[in-house]
Amino acid sequence: MNATDQNGQDTGENGYDYVIVGGGTAGSVLAARLSEDPDCRVCVIEGGPSDVGDERVLRLRNWINLLESEYDYGYTTTEQPRGNSHIVHSRARVLGGCSSHNTLISFLPFPQDLDEWVGMGCAGWDPMTVLPYRRRLRNTIVPVGEEDRNPIARDFVTAAAEALHVPVVEDFNRRPFADGAGFFSLAYDPATNTRSSASVAYLHPVMDKRPNLTLKLRTWAYRLESDEAGRLTRVRVRYADGTTGTVRAERELLLCAGAVDTPRLLLLSGIGPADDLAALGIDVRADLPGVGENLLDHPESVIVWETHEPLPPNSAMDSDAGLFVRRDTAQPRPDLMWHFYQVPFTVNTERLGYPTPPHGVCMTPNVPRARSVGRLWLRSADPAAHPALDFRYFTDPEGYDERTIVDGLRLAREVADTAPLRGWLKREIAPGPGVTSDAELSEYGRRVAHTVYHPAGTCRMGAADDPTAVVDPLLRLRGQEGVRVVDASVFPSMPSINPMVTVLLVAERAADLITGRPGPQPEGGER
């Protein structure tokens, strides 16, 4: 078997011990870990091309140019009556998945995020079990390098700490924090601006050295099929030249296609809400009502300033610093976050008629634990048709998400009005200083709201007696032998912070669950 197969094509049916559908963040980890056993045959089915040697992908600062490019599946949202209906949810079409496509901001999940999972029926996902896997991660995760620390980002950190009375945090992953301002930790090499994505860290060192590892690139999985015994073991795929074939898993089938394409694949295979499937003419294999439900995200809005002059050019990826505050001091976790962009992010403000400054910055108030929950479903039985994504932004009955954005816009103005950041800023472009009431800020904030590209939760994990859980705490697909889901779709609730590292931890733990190997021993301070 070839370690890499650029075109993915086979004649007839190929069998492997493990078939991994999706060569993204989780799939890269599983492929590397399972293929450590030279007698274990592992196949990865990835719809996109390789990232090896592709500077457009490997150079971190180019991330924004990958959005809505040939590397992007470009899923749209349904009409959002209380939000922005024009959001394109970028999902990566390249080896490494979204870790080859995003900003690689890297946070460990808060212990309380994992405690919440346990409280939702996910035994074995407590902080003492999960957080020690940080020591197994192969990615290089470091705070933004000194040479990449733009002077205006430094002054943002200083002003934020002064204005909102929060500490300056040197390393957000050193210990859990309640609030703070600082430069993010990124999975990258500061000397070269090269990504330390899941593919770079886990697959590049081994992909040409392990004959038991096969990568079928530019190969799209569109349906799961059963064997003669009724067990789901086969994946129907379409190759780059348009021909189709079947790949067979002899031990387990591992679905790692992400929070959009994993539930989509299950639905196309007849696993999901029975009435919805029958209405589309799809034969129902299993009535599993939770597939596609519990669609989660981190919504955020934006406030834009023009600067007096162009900014110094150095940066890791133009959103290198951030701010966290805790409005509810009875809680140990922050409940408001901002990314600080060293470029004016105006894709949504322009549509409402706001001007685009020649040079500027913005802050993006973000809802760490949004209470609005959405849903994904199929529009058609045609595998090529994109699913419907309804995030139901800002629809939580108590208005918590909306209030969080309004508070975030107000606090952003306080930071902007504080030295030394204040000296850089010429004027507020959007929404403009005349927009001051709660109602005005809410209307603006919701209409220009965007996503941080963190869809999750659509095949959520839960206890055996939870009728809406799609997988059990061992990540096994309910009612199906030999199938597991390993990606952000299994999250029962959203981690408070950027979730890529949480996906890596889930995948590392999944490798042990699959093989029966013991996990790392906890150390003091894991909480």
Active site residues: 454
φ/ψ (deg, to 5) at 31:
-60, -45
Tokens of residue 347, six digits: 């894709």
Which residue, among 80, 53, 14, 361, has the nearest Cα to 204 in the 3D structure?
Answer: 53
Q: Pairing state of beta strands 4-5 and 213-216?
A: parallel
Residues 97 and 24: beta-carbon distance below 8 Å: yes
Which DSSP state fits 442?
H
Which DSSP state fits 469?
-
**3-state SS record for 46-111:** CCCCCCCCCHHHHEHHHHHHHCCCCCECCEECCCCCCCCCCCEECCECCCCHHHHCCCCECCCCCH
Does 130 belong to an annotated binding site? no
**3-state SS record for 219-271:** CEEEEEEECCCCCEEEEEEECCCCCEEEEEEEEEEEECCHHHHHHHHHHHCCE
Total count of residues recorded for the chain: 527
* DSSP secondary structure of 494-515: --SS--HHHHHHHHHHHHHHHH
**What is the spatial distance between Cα 243 and Cα 403, in angstroms, rounded to a whole number?**
51
Residue 483 CA: distances (Å) to CA of 217, 279, 477, 488, 508: 21, 26, 6, 16, 17
Tokens of residue 73, six digits: 């599946």
Which residue, among 298, 267, 265, has the nearest Cα to 282 in the 3D structure?
Answer: 267
Q: Which amino acid is at 199?
A: S
φ/ψ (deg, to 5) at 250:
-90, -25
**What is the spatial distance between Cα 261 and Cα 413, in angstroms, rounded to a whole number?**
39
**What is the spatial distance between Cα 458 and Cα 450, in angstroms, rounded to a whole number?**
20
Tokens of residue 21, six digits: 């559908």
Bind-site residues for FAD: 94
